[in-house]
Chain A
Amino acid sequence: MKGKYLHINLATALVKSLRQRGGHVQVEYPVRRGQRPPAVDILAQVAGLLLAIEIECSVRRIPNDLMKVEALRPDMGLIVMPNARLALAARSVVRRLKNDYPFATATIQVMTFGAALQWVANNCPVKSVPQVAGDI
């Protein structure tokens, strides 16, 4: 996985949480074909949703994240920031770029790391038995 210490730590914790809930998780998923395509940090298929998750430690790369979500067209884009101060700044950046990326800004949610973990816990139920159609 790319990034520095904090980025890797947060991404690892999120991947672990998603996999525990039976999600199909891909890390550093490229948004298009080519030699060096941009990639989202986590692409997860969980609870019938396709999630594109980006972990950011500053607001500098938020426009890139919006571009990636615009390209991938997931059900939901999630930008995870380490703390509330950065999350607030990120939300304002997303709002500012509403006209440039209409789909992404409508789909994307900005959360702190704790809130993202909580969201995953709330929206993705733990599956211990596979759901198989048939007689009960």
Chain B
Amino acid sequence: MNNYERYDKFFERWDLARAHGAANDRLGRKLQRGLALLPNDTLMRSLAETRIRYLEQQLKAGRIAPFAQARMLDGELVIGQDLHGSPIHIMLDWLCSGLFTVANTGSGKSNLAYWLVSQLAWLACSTWLIEPYKIQFRLLLPLYQRASKPLIILPWQNWRWNLLQCEGCDPRSHATNAADLLVRTLNMPGRAAVILRQGIHVLYTRYSIWDGGTTRFPTLFHLYEWVRSQKDLNTAGREAILDRLGSFLTLLTPACAAWTRGWTPQDLARHSIVFEMRGAAESIRTLLPQSLLFSVFHSRITSGLMNGPLELLLVIDDAQRIFLDSATVEGGITPLDEALGIVRGAGIGVWPIVQTTIGFSRRARANLAMRTFGRLGTHEDLAVMAADCGLNEEQQAYILHHLLPGTFVGQMGLGAYTHPFVFRVPLAKFPGGVSDVEVQMSQAPLRELPTEFADEFAKWSPHMSVEVTAPAKESVSALGETELRLLRAVVANPGKPISFYCQETRLSGKRLAEIRDRLTKQGYIRKHSVAQNPRGRTAIIIEPLAPAIAAVQANPGNDL
């Protein structure tokens, strides 16, 4: 065999043909086995040669991708099909090491997410889907219902969020990171971070957090009020906090952020949730998901890393803003980047989906072991991803023109097969839409969780307001018995002239006219002058108004 190979390179060529699926059918497998036993058999060689020549011709003509067929046959999830139609499997636990997807708009990123997440509905793993702009993941609701697994659709307005809630993690690091997150997101000066940390420290002391209190936590509204009450702080830093935090809290509304006990990441991690950020301001869209990721990572790290199976997959669509390539206030690594590197053992998988690598945190990218990319719009993206995935020049030239929407290049940093491969994702189709009622009903499991609202901030405003109320009006009981008799008669028989009510109330016309005028002035009845006959004087008919009806209902009598 070795002598022959030295001259004609038959087995090298056969290996290449096998990489492109030449030995996938029954005859191919027999040939492979036969050539291993009898390498010089003429008949088997000629049969194999036919297949090799055909594939070589196809390769030269550019009809076959210069990628080897992925040998990924085991795993709970199917990431897609290779170019020959065979499924490509990945293990569920590989997702703990992170998956990174980059492709420009319209190239099927969301479809890839649907495809994988719809498979997760049948597996014992929670999923958080964070959508900054779209509301498409809610279409997965019927699919999850079919799998008897609740999927919660949570618009940001319904979130019970408290940034300063440090349940399950160290309050010291939480306070530092929360202040840093606020300063970076709201673009405050460096001095503001120090003031915020000081404020959080004071509030944690007030709420006995340092002594182990875990039932009530201060909110951002408490922090704002503390900064407002401290007049002797650094003016520039204080003013920056009051301006930016004030406008942020106004946008966020107390209904979302004034919870002394909000939903904890540990509680949320038991459910599959779609976080919809549509309609939120940019600062909210950045801060809420980042704080959520940060809390869940830190609570897992605090509870201990054990290299367990995947328990929670975080799918972050349009994640550019969350994983920005920026540093902390002191110039160090961001807490999110740091956490991303160590959550692998915590059973959390992170899957950021972005449109370009430009501006995406390089530190974050380094810790995402599985990479997929689709059609890319810039040379920079192409060069970065080709280098990251280990593509050769021929493969780069191929993908430049052949990555159609729904076709991706993948490279897995785990398992036995770590070469790049091309795969197609079938178009996911979902039945119908999801109504707002279904969205509200889906939130029922979260509403049962223990929470506590800070009532003092229910009508919070960044500017001081004084409520002016008029003294309570006199009650209706000022009406006398004769007035009530007339009102009862008018309500029982409306639209009659005064002579009719004289008979009904057994009062004289003069006396009744006086009462009528008094009640008209008080707004109980209204007079109308109507000519009910072609001749003679016009009749004055009486219309009962709402106060009269209320007065009669409040004082029912049976003297009529």
Contact = CB atoms under 8 A, between A and B. Distances in A.
A binds B: yes
Interface of A: 5-6, 9-10, 82-85, 87, 112-115, 117-118
Nearest to B528: A6
Interface string B500-537: 00000000000000000000000000101111111100
Contacts of B495: 5, 9
Given A5-B543, A6-B543, A115 B528 contact: no
Given A5-B543, A6-B543, A9-B495, A118 B534 contact: yes
B530 A83 contact: yes
B534 A83 contact: no
Contacts of A9: 495, 541
A83 B543 contact: no
B538 interface: yes
A82 B539 CA distance: 10
A112 B543 contact: no
B528 A84 contact: no
Nearest to B495: A9
Given A112-B531, A114-B533, 17 more contacts: A5-B495, A5-B528, A5-B543, A6-B530, A6-B541, A6-B543, A82-B528, A82-B529, A83-B529, A83-B531, A83-B538, A84-B538, A112-B538, A113-B530, A113-B531, A115-B531, A117-B534
B531 A114 contact: yes
B493 to A, nearest CB: 12
Main SS of chain B's interface residues? loop
Contact of B532 (A6, A85, A87, A114): A114
A10 B529 CA distance: 12
A117 B531 CA distance: 10
Nearest to B544: A5
Nearest to B543: A5
Contacts of A83: 529-531, 538
Contacts of B534: 112, 114-115, 117-118
B220 to A, nearest CB: 50
B543 A82 contact: no
A82 B533 CA distance: 11
27 contacts: A5-B494, A5-B495, A6-B528, A6-B541, A6-B543, A9-B495, A82-B528, A82-B529, A82-B531, A82-B538, A83-B529, A83-B530, A83-B531, A84-B538, A85-B529, A87-B531, A113-B531, A113-B532, A114-B530, A114-B532, A114-B533, A114-B534, A114-B535, A115-B534, A117-B532, A117-B534, A118-B533
A2 B352 CA distance: 60
Contacts of A113: 530-532
Nearest to A5: B543
B533 to A, nearest CB: 4
Contacts of B531: 82-84, 87, 112-115
A10 B538 contact: no
A65 B374 CA distance: 70
A120 to B, nearest CB: 11
